[in-house]
């Protein structure tokens, strides 16, 4: 029996700009045409994506998305990050296009990140929970701040609603409970910093990472925050003047 394959065809404003972006991610251009309509195809391993241009298309109003299941979300993200830095001089974290950081902020606890390409398409790279190196705990967050981190992460990572996510975290941080741990505060500050960058509020992001840098963490806390502290380095790089 033949193997069935589904290939998404996604809209864009410019085929050439889109293909340049995907080649920076390590994709190969497998087909391109100008007439009778502009069309382009890229491939990386088993990932195939097709694109067509539309007159009057506005990427910021795009609703197009697709899911790509991967074995190792963090490793692939590192490859994409390196390629984008080489192409653009810095990893784009705000506007269109941009690359979001890997997180487990979703109901299934899957490790995932998003590529928002020049056409405004959300390509969601997902490492299924059963294959995730750091499987989520069965129980959800127990503190108000912990629950706010989870909910704000969903709004930001899955829906792309930076404003609502920022408001939710700001409210939770302003009414911090006594049972909130340093680990949760650091996670909240870093998520809020990333949201601020996406909103082009770099001064707010800088204030938040300064709070993180001022924390006198124990070895156990540093171990628990290993992934987040790696994220801190990435945020610092994003905020560094070109």
Gap between the Cα atoms of 146 and 191, Å rounded: 12
Tens digit of each residue's pLDDT, the chain (242 residues): 568 899 999 999 999 999 999 999 999 999 999 989 999 999 999 999 999 999 999 999 999 999 999 999 999 999 999 999 999 888 998 899 999 988 887 666 788 999 999 999 999 999 976 644 444 444 567 788 989 999 999 899 888 899 999 999 999 999 876 778 899 999 999 999 999 999 999 999 999 999 999 999 999 999 999 888 888 888 888 888 76
Domain definitions of the chain by residue range = 139-239
Partners of 66 in the β-ladder: 123
Residue pair 58/114 in contact (Cβ under 8 Å)? The answer is no
Q: Tell me the CATH number for domain 139-239.
A: 1.25.40
Exposed/middle/buried for residue 28 (C-beta within 10 Å: 0-12, 13-18, 19+)? exposed
Element (H, E) at 173: helix 162-174
Exposed/middle/buried for residue 27 (C-beta within 10 Å: 0-12, 13-18, 19+)? buried
Could you report the per-residue pLDDT of 95-109, keeping only the tens digit for each?
Answer: 999 999 888 876 667
Question: Distances from the Cα of 107 to the Cαs of 67, 121, 230, 233, in angstroms?
Answer: 16, 22, 23, 27
Gap between the Cα atoms of 5 and 38, Å rounded: 23
Q: Is the pTM of this model over 0.75?
A: yes
């Amino acid at each position: 029996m033949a193997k069935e394959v589904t290939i998404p065809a996604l809209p864009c404003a410019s085929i050439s700009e889109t293909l340049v972006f995907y080649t920076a991610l390590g994709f190969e251009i497998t087909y391109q045409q100008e007439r009778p309509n502009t069309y382009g195809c890229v491939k990386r391993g088993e990932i195939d994506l097709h694109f067509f241009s539309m007159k009057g298309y506005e990427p910021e109003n795009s609703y197009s998305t697709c899911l790509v299941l991967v074995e190792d979300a963090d490793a692939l993200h590192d490859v994409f990050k390196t390629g984008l830095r080489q192409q653009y001089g810095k990893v784009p974290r705000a506007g269109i296009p941009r690359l979001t950081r890997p997180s487990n902020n979703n109901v299934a606890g899957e490790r995932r990140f998003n590529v928002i390409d020049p056409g405004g398409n959300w390509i969601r790279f997902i490492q299924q929970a059963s294959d995730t190196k750091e499987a989520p705990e069965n129980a959800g967050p127990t503190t108000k701040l912990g629950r706010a981190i989870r909910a704000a992460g969903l709004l930001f990572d899955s829906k792309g609603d930076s404003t609502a996510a920022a408001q939710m975290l700001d409210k939770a941080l302003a009414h911090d409970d006594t049972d909130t741990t340093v680990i949760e505060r650091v996670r909240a500050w870093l998520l809020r910093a990333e949201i601020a960058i996406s909103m082009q509020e770099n001064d707010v992001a800088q204030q938040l990472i300064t709070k993180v840098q001022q924390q006198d963490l124990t070895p156990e806390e540093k171990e628990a925050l290993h992934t987040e502290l790696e994220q801190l380095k990435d945020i610092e790089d994003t905020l560094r003047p070109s």
